[in-house]
Chain A
Amino acid sequence: MKRRYQTMIGIGIVIVLVIVLQLVGILRPIENMMVNVFFNGAQFAYQSEVGNNGANSINQRLNDTFDPELIQAVCNIETAENVLIKEENEELRKQLDFFSKNDLIHIGAEVIGRTVDPLSTVITINRGKKDGVIPTNPVIVGEGVLVGTVIETFDHMSYVRLINDNQSRVGATLLNKDHTIGLVEGGYDIGVQMNFIPQNEVVSPGDIVVTSGLTENMPRGFTIGRVEFVEKQPLEPFQQAILDPLADLSYLTMVSVVITTSTYVTAQ
C-alpha cells in the first residue's frame, strides 16, 4: 500500500511539473509543433465529414424547399462537390460584402478541424498569433453572423469556441421594442439559450438576437440567432429564450476573424 502511495505521489509530482513548465511557456514550441502537425494531418478527415454534412444539407434543402435556384445549380453542375464549392464562394462573397459595408479589420480563415474533447464544440482555424489573431476576437460567417470567439492562439492556428459550447457566454440584445439585454449561453440540451431576460420584457418567437457590445472585444450588432420559443416561470426573476442560431454550426468551412473592432458601425 505504501508503495502505491509513493507511485501516486511520484506521478502527481511529474504532472505538476509539466503543468508548471506549460504555464511558464517552456512547452510552447512543442505545443505549436504538435498542433500544427496533428491538425494539418487530420484536416482531410474534418473536410470529408463536413463535406458529407454539406451534401446532406443540400439534399435536405432540395427536399424541404424545392428551391428552384438550387435545383438548377444541381442540374447544371451535376456533382455535389461543385455545389459545395459554389456554396463556399457564395459564403466568401457574403463575408466580403459585409466587410466592405463595415469598417472592420478582418482576416479570412479556413476551418481545419475540431478539438479532441467530445464534450466541447471548439473548432480549429488556420490563422494564429502571427496573423494578428488574439483571444477574444469574434469569428463570423456570412453577413455578420457570429459563430464563436477565439479562445487560444498558436503561431499559425487558433481554437475558436462556438456559441453552442458549454463555456460560451456572449452579451446580447433582442431587436424588439425594448431592446432587451441578456446573456447568450451554450451547453444546454437544446443548444443556445438567452438567459437573464427580465420578466417584464416582451419577447416573441421570431425576434432577432444580436451582440450587445457588452462583452470584451465583441462589437454590437453581429447577428446570433432567432428566438424559437420563450420559457417563462411566474415566480422566477428572469425568463429564457431558446434560440435558433442563424449559422449552421456543424457545417463551417470558411470564417472571418474580426481583428480590430473599435470603429464598427452596426449594420442594423
Chain B
Amino acid sequence: MSQHSKILKKIIPAVLYTLGILGLAFSKLMLNNLLPTVFTYIDILMLFFVIAIMRGADGGVVWFAFGVYLIEDILTSQHFGIELFAGVFTILGIFWFFESVFTNLSIWIAGILTLFGMFVFRALYCIGILFSGLLLENGFIFSTGLMKQFGIEMLCTAFLAIPLYAVFIKIGNMFTREKIKYS
C-alpha cells in the first residue's frame, strides 16, 4: 500500500467523523428552529445514539457524542459543561447498559433504552444545574411544569424510537451484503 493511500485511510474517516458531528449538531439546531414547540421535545441526538449503539457502534460512539454535546453546549444558554457532562455520561451509560443488560435487538428495547437514556440525561442535567448553582448563580426553578416537560420529552422521544428503529431494521435488511450480491 502506498504512503498516500495510508494517509488517506486515516484522513477520510477523521473528516467524515467531523462532518458527522457538525451535521448532527446542526440538525438539532435546525429542527429546534423549524418545528413547532411540541416537536422540539423530541431529542434527535438521543434517538441517533440509541439506534447507532443498537446497530453495533463501537466505543468510539462515546467520543462522537463528546464532539456533538460539546457543540450543543456552545449553542445553549446554560453554564458551559452541563450539557457536555450529562450527554457524554448518558451515552456511556446507554452503551454499557446495552452491552450488559439489554443484549437483544427488539424494537421494544429501543424504546426502553431511549427512556432510560432520557431519564439519566435529565437526572445528570439537574445534578449539573444544582452543582453550577452552588458555584455560580443560576436561579433555576425546579417547578412541576418543568417536571412535566421532562416527562413529555422522555415519552415523545421513547415513542418515536420504536418505529424509527423498526424502519432502520427494515432498511438495514434491504441492503444486506447477501441481498445486494444476489440481486
Residues of A at under 8 Å CB distance from B? 4, 7-8, 11, 14-15, 18-19, 22-23, 30-31, 34-35, 38-39, 41-42, 45-46, 48-49, 113-120, 122, 151-152, 159, 161, 166-167, 169, 185, 187-189, 250
Contact = CB atoms under 8 A, between A and B. Distances in A.
Contacts of B35: 49
Nearest to A53: B36
B70 A18 contact: yes
Contacts of A120: 76-78
Given A11-B62, A11-B88, A42-B30, A34 B81 contact: no
Indicate the member of A22, A30, A39, A48 with the most B CB atoms within 10 Å.
A22
A45 to B, nearest CB: 4
A42 B33 contact: yes
Contact of B26 (A22, A38, A46): A38
A38 B75 contact: yes
Contact of A35 (B32, B75, B78): B75
A116 B74 CA distance: 9
Nearest to A30: B74
A189 B74 contact: no
Contacts of A22: 80-81
A15 B146 CA distance: 27
Interface in B46-102: 62, 66, 70-72, 74-78, 80-81, 83-85, 88-89, 92, 96
A38 B144 contact: no
A45 B145 contact: no
Contact of B77 (A23, A122, A185): A122
**A-B residue pairs, 5 tightest by C-beta:** A45-B34, A189-B145, A45-B33, A46-B33, A122-B77
19 contacts: A15-B66, A15-B85, A18-B81, A23-B80, A35-B74, A38-B29, A41-B30, A42-B29, A42-B30, A49-B35, A113-B33, A114-B32, A116-B28, A118-B149, A122-B76, A169-B139, A187-B145, A189-B145, A189-B148
A166 B141 contact: yes
A11 to B, nearest CB: 6
Given A11-B62, A166-B141, A166-B143, 20 more contacts: A8-B89, A14-B66, A15-B85, A19-B80, A22-B81, A38-B25, A39-B29, A45-B30, A45-B33, A49-B36, A114-B32, A114-B33, A116-B76, A118-B32, A118-B41, A167-B139, A169-B139, A188-B145, A189-B144, A250-B37
A11 B145 CA distance: 33
A166 B75 contact: no
Nearest to A49: B34
Contacts of B145: 187-189
B104 interface: no
